[in-house]
Structure 1
Amino acid sequence: MGELSGKTAVVSGGSGGIGFAICTKFAQNGAKVIILDYNKETLDEMLPKLVAPEGQKHEGHFYDVTKNDRPPVDFSKVDILLNGAGIGNGGFLEGMETSLIERIIATNLTGVIKLTKYAMEAWFEREDSRTKAQGNGVVINISSILGLRAVTPALTVYSASKGGIIMFTKALAIEGGAHAIRANAICPGYVRTAMTEFMELPEPSPFQEKDDNGDVDKESIAGAAYYFATNLQVSGAILSVDKAMAAL
Structure 2
Amino acid sequence: MQEEIEGHAKAYGLDFFPIIYEVLDYKTMNEVAAYGGFPTRYPHWRFGMDYEQLAKGYEWGLQKIYEMVINTNPAYAYLLEGNSLVDQKTVMGHVCAHVDFFKNNYYFSKTNRKMIDGMANHAALVRRHMARHGQDVVEDFIDTCLTLENLIDPMSPYITRQPAKSGEEDDDEDEDGVPRLRAKQYMDKFINPPEYLEAQRKKKEEEKKKLRRRFPEEPQRDVLSFLIQNAPIDSWQRDILEIVR
Into which bin does the TM-score normalised by the smaller protein fall? under 0.3
Q: Which has the higher strand share?
A: 1
- Please report the TM-score for the alignment, with normalisation by the length of structure 1: 0.22
Which one has a bigger Cα radius of gyration? 2
- Please report the TM-score for the alignment, with normalisation by the length of structure 2: 0.22
